[in-house]
Structures are given as structure tokens and as C-alpha cells.
């Protein structure tokens, strides 16, 4: 998969076809689309809401963001995993169909993320959730958005997040090259070339805002407890390790798991033992943060 202006449309189409063919688990949950109001009058944000068929009152909630390099993807990419979260945690999951670059670059997608969080928090009573137990979660570009949203939310001071779960998150707008580059990463599936294309599509010639790339933040205190998961061969492993270290030095309760031999997107091998393990690890982290 080589991303470019010429190939992007075809690759998006390929993902759409794959999603149409996926087999979802048989679980006691209900899935529906909701239209969340945006800050722009007359425009709504499509979201996928997944709830247990009989959800207990004051349930926790997870606001989730899909991956795709900010240029492709949809909430349905993670639907099977999100259904499992809703069923096993007895929680509401809201996955955001945020706008994509290059058509809508930063800050547009982050505005969608922020609007979705404000809606979820504001509608807590009507939705039957506990607005003190809202977590943010995301994979890859979605992990970037979850981490940035946690920073935005902390700085605004109006909403207190309970947890952030970051799976293979893109945390830095700078791609490490030369002597700074890890020679074992970025070789499989998600290469430096593809990552550079997506970062330019999302950020243009560059953007040092921590709301675009969380590793740019100078202060990490008072962020919610954090779980980071990434493969050892993933292009993002070094920035994840750096962010983990900085979170720990800022006093933020943080757990990080590195999966040996795993590249970016390894969970596409749905039946691999390491994929099943990674899903259990994420589920257990959410359970400890929101239930136990």
C-alpha cells in the first residue's frame, strides 16, 4: 500500500469493500448511527453508537477514534472490537466518523472530536452514562486524536476524562530520519513514505501545536491515566516510548505494552495469538480504569 494523491481514492474504496464484507460477532449489543451536532450550524457528525441491549444506569462510556492516517477509514473498522467492549464492560461506545484530510486538514478533525466529546458529556443523563467515567481511545491516527483530545480537555478544564487508551498512536509530527531513526521500524505495512504523505495531508508543511501532535506538549501533568500499546517494529514505537516516559515523569499513571515482532496494523491478522492477546490487554486496561 503506497499512499499518494493518485492512489488515495482507490485505497479508500478498497477499505469500504473490506468493511462491507466483515463478519461481526453475535453479541447482546445494539448498534446505531447518531448525528452529533457540530460547531458549524447545519452540519452534523456521523457517529456509531454501540450499547449493551440492557445497559445498567450510570454506565461508563468510551469515545473512540478509528485509524487510517487521518486520510481514510470509518468507525466500522473497529466495530467487532467495540462491540466486545460494550458487551463485556457494560458500557456505551461512541465511535466518531471525523472528517478526513486532505479535504479537511487539522484542526477540522480535532474539532469534530471535541464536539463529539462535549455532546457525549452533555447528554450523559439522557444516554444513561456516568460523565465522570468517560474514556477516550483510538488506534494509529485515532490514537493521535485521543491523545490530543486529552490535552485539549485538560487545558479547557470543563470535562475530566477518566482514561485514555492509545493503540499504536501517531504522537509526533516529525519522522525520525538518519541516525535518529530506528533501523527496525517502518519496514512493513506502514512505511515512512506513507506516514510522511499522511502527515503532510493532515498538517500541511508542519504544525507544532500539541493539539495536532501530543508529543509537542511541554506539560503533561494532570492528564488522565494512560494505556499505550504498540508493536516493536511499528514506526511509532520510539515516540510511544518517549511519551510514556514523559507521562511517568509527570506523575500520570501509565502502562505501556510493546509486542515483539509486531508491525503497525498487525491486528489485521484477526486470528493471530498476539492479536487476541492485544485485544485482551486493551479490554483489561479499560476494565481496570472504568469498572474496578
Q: Catalytic: 5?
A: no
Beta strands in 151-215 (DSSP E): 163-167
d(CA 29, CA 22): 17
With beta carbons less than 8 A apart as the criterion, state whether 205 and 196 touch: no
45: β partners:
36
Q: Catalytic: 66?
A: no
Write down the catalytic residue from 195, 234, 278, 279.
234
44: β partners:
37
Write down the catalytic residue from 264, 278, 279, 282.
264
Q: Catalytic: 208?
A: no
Q: Which long-range contacts (CB under 8 A, 24 or more apart) does 182-188 make?
A: 182/237, 182/238, 184/232, 184/233, 185/233, 185/234, 185/235, 185/236, 185/237, 185/238, 186/235, 187/233, 187/263, 188/233, 188/263, 188/264
Write down the catalytic residue from 38, 140, 194, 195.
140
As annotated, the active-site residues are: 140, 234, 264
Amino acid at each position: 500500500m503506497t499512499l499518494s494523491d493518485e492512489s488515495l481514492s482507490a485505497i479508500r474504496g478498497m477499505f469500504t469493500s473490506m468493511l462491507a464484507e466483515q463478519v461481526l460477532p453475535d453479541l447482546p449489543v445494539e448498534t446505531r448511527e447518531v448525528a452529533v451536532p457540530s460547531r458549524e450550524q447545519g452540519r452534523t457528525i456521523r457517529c456509531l453508537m454501540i450499547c449493551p441491549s440492557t445497559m445498567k444506569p450510570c454506565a461508563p462510556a468510551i469515545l473512540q477514534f478509528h485509524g487510517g492516517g487521518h486520510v481514510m477509514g470509518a468507525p466500522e473498522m473497529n466495530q467487532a472490537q467495540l462491540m466486545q467492549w460494550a458487551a463485556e464492560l457494560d458500557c456505551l461506545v461512541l465511535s466518531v466518523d471525523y472528517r478526513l484530510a486532505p479535504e479537511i486538514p487539522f484542526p477540522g478533525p480535532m474539532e469534530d472530536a471535541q464536539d463529539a466529546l462535549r455532546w457525549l458529556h452533555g447528554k450523559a443523563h439522557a444516554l444513561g452514562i456516568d460523565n465522570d467515567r468517560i474514556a477516550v481511545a483510538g488506534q494509529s491516527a485515532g490514537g493521535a486524536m485521543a491523545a490530543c483530545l486529552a490535552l485539549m480537555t485538560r487545558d479547557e478544564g470543563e470535562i475530566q476524562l477518566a482514561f485514555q487508551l492509545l493503540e499504536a498512536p501517531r504522537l509526533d509530527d516529525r519522522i525520525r530520519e538518519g541516525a535518529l531513526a530506528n533501523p527496525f521500524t517502518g519496514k512493513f505495512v506502514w512505511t515512512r513514505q506513507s506516514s510522511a504523505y499522511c502527515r503532510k495531508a493532515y498538517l500541511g508543511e508542519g504544525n507544532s501545536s500539541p493539539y495536532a501532535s501530543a508529543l509537542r506538549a511541554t506539560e503533561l501533568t494532570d492528564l488522565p491515566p494512560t494505556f499505550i500499546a504498540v508493536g516493536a517494529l511499528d514506526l511509532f514505537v520510539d515516540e510511544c516510548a518517549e511519551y510514556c516516559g514523559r507521562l511517568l515523569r509527570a506523575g500520570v499513571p501509565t502502562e505501556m505494552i510493546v509486542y515483539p515482532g509486531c508491525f503497525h496494523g498487525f491486528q489485521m491478522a484477526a486470528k493471530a495469538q498476539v492479536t487476541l492477546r492485544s485485544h485482551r490487554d486493551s479490554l483489561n486496561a479499560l476494565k481496570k480504569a472504568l469498572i474496578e
